[in-house]
Chain A
Amino acid sequence: MPEIQVNGQPLNVKAGISVLAALQNQGIWTTRTSVSGEPRGALCGMGVCFECRLQVDGKIQKACQLMVQQGMKVVLDAR
């Protein structure tokens, strides 16, 4: 079971799943705050809508297209 960090907190997740699924499985459905301050979560699940973008290992990436890797550092709602 790979361990990732979400906002600094360690989290053990299933291998072979997306970062998005790992967060959703923890009940985290809000991935970002919109420009007018609304909570938003993933819509398309396939890299088109960009609603699931997060900071992962210092880079803004689409959580739905990224598979979990040991030691990944995920920051929610990063700019």
Chain B
Amino acid sequence: MHAEVLVVGAGPAGLAAARAASKNAKVTLLDDNAKMGGQIWRNRPDLKLPANVQWLPSSGIAGVLDEKTLLLEGKALSFDQVILCTGARELHLPFPGWTLPGVLGAGGLQAMIKNGLDVAGKTIVVAGSGPLLLAVAALARQKGAKVLKILEQAPTWQLLPFLRALSAGKILQAAQMGPQTLLGYNPDAYLLQASGEGQLQQVICQIQGKTVQLECDLLAVGFGLVPNLELAVQLGCRLDQGFIQVDDTCKTSQKGIYAAGEITGIGGLDRALLQGEISGLAATNQTIKNLVPRLRASQRFVRTLKNSFTLRPEVLKLAQPDTIVCRCEDVRLSQAQQHDNWRSAKLHTRLGMGACQGRTCAPICQILLGLDSPQTRPPIFATPLKNLLLEEEP
């Protein structure tokens, strides 16, 4: 298979990129999910693609064959230009009880609801940091759940620059969610632990200095987002402060490779759409001139978002020596702490060697222990061996 312009990831950035590029080229758009929309537009029924975009759903990328060829499961896919829109995943930070069934990512709960989880009548606590907490709580309430508390670890003073940076449109959107959106919203509040017999039953948290116990069915926790860099790094793209380095045209350090959306900096929907459009236009030699000033403004929003939700030291110290840090291999904090680098921890404890290939534990170990993991090892996703063999082309 060959793609003139390949777009990897069908979230907002990828869809915007595909639309813009399709005005001047044939586009192939793929995603490892069955439907387009990414996390934010998951299951939205009204998403349409222009006629000359070829859509490849449920297409996981196993690896990189060379600088212009990717390995899908059992098939090679070459391209002239590629736009990487691989998005971000949630940052999970371990605390006692975080491995109990019923403890979910905040974005995880959002994704599950959008995929058909019925939360009507469920009692939910939402905790962590960032604007996602409010969005998740609003969605859960809209579907009939009782959201007891929304615990935002940042203190109020730290949140003010974020509120000031919100556009009029965003404020209007928040107002439409209704005053109940803010019901139970507590800044300066964080989790201490979750517990239950085989399943989550209660959480203990700290709310403005007071320790509080809450009974709940579900706990949704999100401490922010980390970019999905694996493919970009394996394609040789240079990083800048933990994100894919791009110029004003969304071009990476590698020829013919563009990147847009959260992998270039956590900045939300509007920025992802803008960067998607810019990358799609730039990759197909169309003009982007009038979009560049808006892009610069969006970079300022990225910095504000980062500063407003900086994690407090307490939430980085919640894991106890026996708290699991690597969920695939059940490696505990005390075991990981005995190593001063990722490789040594991996070889001695199997940290990062399970099914998720370090996607959950590598950011945890980086933040808690300073262990830097290389993101360059194939395969990109754990996959059956047969998928690494190329099928004969007829």
Residues of A that sit less than 8 Å from B by CB: 14, 16-18, 20-22, 24-25, 29-31, 34-36, 38-51, 53, 64-67
Contact = CB atoms under 8 A, between A and B. Distances in A.
B115 A29 contact: no
21 contacts: A17-B117, A18-B116, A21-B116, A30-B101, A34-B330, A35-B330, A39-B101, A41-B104, A43-B327, A43-B360, A44-B111, A45-B108, A45-B110, A47-B32, A47-B33, A48-B89, A48-B360, A50-B356, A53-B355, A64-B111, A65-B32
A43 to B, nearest CB: 6
A35 B329 contact: yes
A30 B101 CA distance: 6
B354 interface: yes
What secondary structure prevails in chain A residues at the interface with B? loop
Max chain B C-beta neighbours (<10 A), residue from A30, A45, A53: A45
A51 B199 CA distance: 15
Interface string B90-128: 101000000111111101111110011110000000000
A46 B355 CA distance: 14
What secondary structure prevails in chain B residues at the interface with A? loop
Nearest to B34: A67
Nearest to B382: A50
Contacts of B33: 47, 65
B374 interface: no
A16 B117 CA distance: 11
Contacts of B198: 30, 39
B328 interface: yes
A42 B110 CA distance: 13
Contacts of A49: 105, 327, 356, 359-360
